Amino acid sequence: MKRLLSASSLLLTALPVAAMQNAPPPSTRNWREQGVIYLDHSLNSRLHTVPVQAVRMTDGFWSSRRRVTTERSLPTLLLELEEHGVVDNFRRLEGHSELPRKGRPASDADLYKWIEGAAWAVASNETPDPQKLQLRGDIDSLVSHIVAAQDSTGYLNTYFVADKAHLRFTDLAHSYEDFCLGHLLQAGIAYYRATGNRRLLDAGIRFADYVVDNFGPGKKPFFTGHPELEMALVELYRTTGDTKYLAFTRYLFSGADRDRLKLKDTEVHYLFSGKPFTSRTELEGHAVRALYATSGATDYYMESGDPAFRRTLDLLWTDLTRRKMYLTGGVGSRSAGESFGDAYELPSESAYAETCASIANVMWNFRLLAMTGDARYADLLERTLYNAANAGMSLGGTQYCYRNPLASTGERLRNPWYDTTCCPPNIERLFESLPGYLYATSRDGIYVNLYESSQLDWHLEDGAPVRISQTTDYPWSGTIHVRVAPAKPSEFTVYLRWPSWASSAAVNINGISWDTTANHPAAFIPVSRTWQPGDTVTIEFPMTAVPLVANPRVSDDYGRIAIQRGPLVYALEQIDQNGAALGDLFVRPTSTITSETKKDVLNGVILLKTSGLVAEKSLGGEELYQPLSNTLNRAKRPITLTFIPYYAIGNREPTPMEVWVPVSLTRAESAAPPATASSAALRSAPSR
């Protein structure tokens, strides 16, 4: 038996030769050149990321959101972490606090995520120097406490100390030790890539080495109770060049020690860990765990090239996008276990759609985009970023959504603190790292992944300097001006994304039309030419509001429509409906949708308006069940329905809200065939 175990262990830790031989030594890896994920030496990545420092975001949609994050979210959340004892949990271990430990076992990770977000803010070109100095001082102070709490073995966790020390790594399914280690590594890597300071990174390496040296094939069994460590270990491999971290990641994905760990089927299902990743065919269990696992598996594939991982990733992405995802990009339909439901189980009001799960969806699709260069993944990244993830933080930056339903009866969705406060620092680290998402390079040119007023100062992969500038009012406008400025005339390709929501795309270069007839939505338009310094590209996408219907198997949405304009999903809030109760409203299937710019509403938005109907007598007074003929004759009066962007819900006062609105059905309409997205249930007026 021992001989068999040893042989299988060798198979589990074996890596493809390319991954082993092409890992550059740490001395060749300049921290100033490393992006949010570092792919310059990843043989199975089509795109390569650019550093956060290479991008300056100018006045635009996301620069505004990030300014609030830097100026208000980070400082106020640090105060909350102080007030709730998260920082004192470290201080007490260095003898600077006698307070008892507070919070759940995973609370160390909340501080690490805050540090990661603050690190990306330090790296950002938009953060003013005084704020950078303040953030660096805060981080350095926290790092001092963290490093002082690390014991001589390298182990670092404030929960499993003193009388709990003997419990270390004895309950991997519930202890969050692996999860906290993963976020420690990611925080250390982010601060290193922002400043070159290795102190936190080195502490993370000591803890990672403790795990790798003591667990794995032929040693103590290990698995991730909350997948996250997989992503962090691959990024640590990319940062250091040490292949042992990649080998341990393969071991984690192998599920090799399930029997030794005595894992139950229910645990393997819920935790999305503990069995071979490549045996999975659908997303199940806890939504955040599942998508963190797929993100780590994508990272692993980009380094190893294992085709079984690629096949599994394709299966899981198809399962997500065709059967288990909300229109907003939110995931996780069940509050029980914060988990995926069955196929097409996508209830609106009871939707969980945790903010962390939306962030995981963004992270996964960012990696899939880098792996393939396929714009489908950028489209889903964009959908989730603008809607589900964006809704997770208030416009003022100090309140957060843990869950993000698509309908509510008016409960308060936003709060400044949660006992499980994983989402607030998670959304901060995503927003602060966004400059690193906008652009990418490839062997033949530059990819424009997301449209946002910004400037890229970087170089082509042959080393030639190039500057790319965007000016746009996206997502409110579909017009984007891109200025291309190589240091000298150069032949390369600029890839412009044609979003899946846009029915057409017009491209002009220096005022001359560029033929896009060979291109299509959900793809990149390759513009290959000899670029001259100062060349200007103008892209036009029609910004019309489009009514959408769900697959009829999504029973909660049958007979209802939702409205999307550009990448933004819209919602009704009751306070905008002239006193009418949301439950009494219907949308007319043949009405026109108009848009109205309101700079004084919700920090400046475009509202959508369309004709609807409201029941003359509240539906709450009707019988629970009645003949269909009664509903066709129901007395209704006209009303103008006002929609706001979904991300802005709950920012004025708690009020009923819904994304999917019932369609009014009369006797004449009941004889017509069901409306479909392609037959345009509503007419939309183009914006001007």
- Residues 163-210 have pLDDT tens digits of 999 999 999 999 999 999 999 999 999 999 999 999 999 999 999 999
Average pLDDT of the segment spanning 603-615: 97
Asked if residue 48 has pLDDT above 70, the reply is yes
516 with 575, same domain: the answer is no
Q: How confident is the model at residue 675 (pLDDT cuts 50, 70, 90)?
A: very low
Average pLDDT of the segment spanning 510-518: 97
Asked if residue 405 has pLDDT above 50, the reply is yes
| Per-residue model confidence (pLDDT) at position 629 | 87
Percentage of the residues of the chain whose pLDDT score is greater than 90: 90
Asked if residue 98 has pLDDT above 90, the reply is no
613 with 658, same domain: the answer is yes
| Per-residue model confidence (pLDDT) at position 24 | 55
In a domain, 433, yes or no: no
Q: How confident is the model at residue 679 (pLDDT cuts 50, 70, 90)?
A: very low
Surface-to-core class of residue 52, CB atoms within 10 Å of its CB (0-12 exposed, 13-18 middle, 19+ buried): buried
If one compares 11 and 504, the residue with the highest pLDDT of the two is 504
Q: What range does the domain containing 476 cover?
A: 440-540
678 with 606, same domain: the answer is yes
The Cα 353–Cα 346 span in angstroms is 10
In a domain, 347, yes or no: no
Which residues are CB-neighbours of 419 under 8 A, at least 6 positions away? 103, 104
pLDDT tens column, 235-286: 999 999 999 999 999 999 999 999 999 999 999 999 999 999 999 999 999 9
Asked if residue 518 has pLDDT above 80, the reply is yes
In a domain, 565, yes or no: yes
pLDDT tens column, 348-398: 999 999 999 999 999 999 999 999 999 999 999 999 999 999 999 999 999
Selection from 613, 609, 611 nearest residue 643 by Cα? 609
SS3 451: coil
The Cα 501–Cα 495 span in angstroms is 18
For the ranges 34-38, 90-94, 323-327, 398-402, the lowest mean pLDDT is seen at: 90-94
* Residue 62 half-sphere exposure toward CB, CA atoms < 13 A: 29
Asked if residue 577 has pLDDT above 70, the reply is yes
If one counts the domains in the chain, the total is 2
If one compares 546 and 589, the residue with the highest pLDDT of the two is 546
674 with 600, same domain: the answer is yes
| Per-residue model confidence (pLDDT) at position 672 | 41
In a domain, 249, yes or no: no
Query: ∠ at Cα 172 (171, 177), nearest 5°?
Result: 110
| Per-residue model confidence (pLDDT) at position 26 | 57
Average pLDDT of the segment spanning 671-678: 39
572 with 656, same domain: the answer is yes
562 with 534, same domain: the answer is no
| Per-residue model confidence (pLDDT) at position 375 | 98
In a domain, 473, yes or no: yes
451 with 556, same domain: the answer is no
pTM of the prediction? Answer: 0.94
In a domain, 152, yes or no: no
493 with 553, same domain: the answer is no
515 with 566, same domain: the answer is no
Asked if residue 406 has pLDDT above 60, the reply is yes
Domain-ending residue, one of 540, 568, 583: 540
455 with 532, same domain: the answer is yes
Domain-ending residue, one of 540, 571, 586: 540
Asked if residue 687 has pLDDT above 50, the reply is no
| Per-residue model confidence (pLDDT) at position 680 | 39
The Cα 614–Cα 588 span in angstroms is 10
Asked if residue 669 has pLDDT above 70, the reply is no
| Per-residue model confidence (pLDDT) at position 15 | 53
What is the number of other CB atoms lying within 10 angstroms of the CB of residue 129? 7
SS3 116: helix
599 with 646, same domain: the answer is yes
pLDDT tens column, 101-119: 999 999 999 999 999 999 9
Domain-ending residue, one of 478, 506, 540: 540
In a domain, 579, yes or no: yes
677 with 559, same domain: the answer is yes
In a domain, 663, yes or no: yes
The Cα 317–Cα 281 span in angstroms is 10
The Cα 182–Cα 228 span in angstroms is 6
